[in-house]
């Protein structure tokens, strides 16, 4: 993942939600990799919770955009 992939300095408000979702996907992937590496279902669980928070933030961004 390059830092550009997660750059919130975007040229349109609609792109913010996309960046947040890509970050969430990366965190979910990290959680999955940690579970596999450690053979522990709880390994990396915090990354899954952060991913869910980022998904929720992306949804709120979209809802805010749709209001205007």
Whole-model pTM: value is 0.85
In this prediction, residue 1 carries a pLDDT of 47
State mean pLDDT over 45-54.
Answer: 96
**39 has pLDDT over 90:** yes
Q: Match 């993942």 to its residue by tokens.
A: 1
- Angle, CA of 3, 1 and 25, to the nearest 5°: 110
């Amino acid at each position: 993942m390059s830092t550009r992939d997660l750059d919130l300095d975007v040229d349109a408000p609609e792109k913010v939600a996309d960046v947040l979702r890509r970050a969430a996907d990366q965190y979910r992937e990290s959680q999955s990799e940690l579970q596999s590496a450690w053979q522990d279902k709880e390994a990396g669980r915090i990354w899954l919770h952060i991913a869910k928070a980022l998904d929720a933030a992306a949804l709120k961004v979209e809802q805010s955009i749709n209001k205007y």
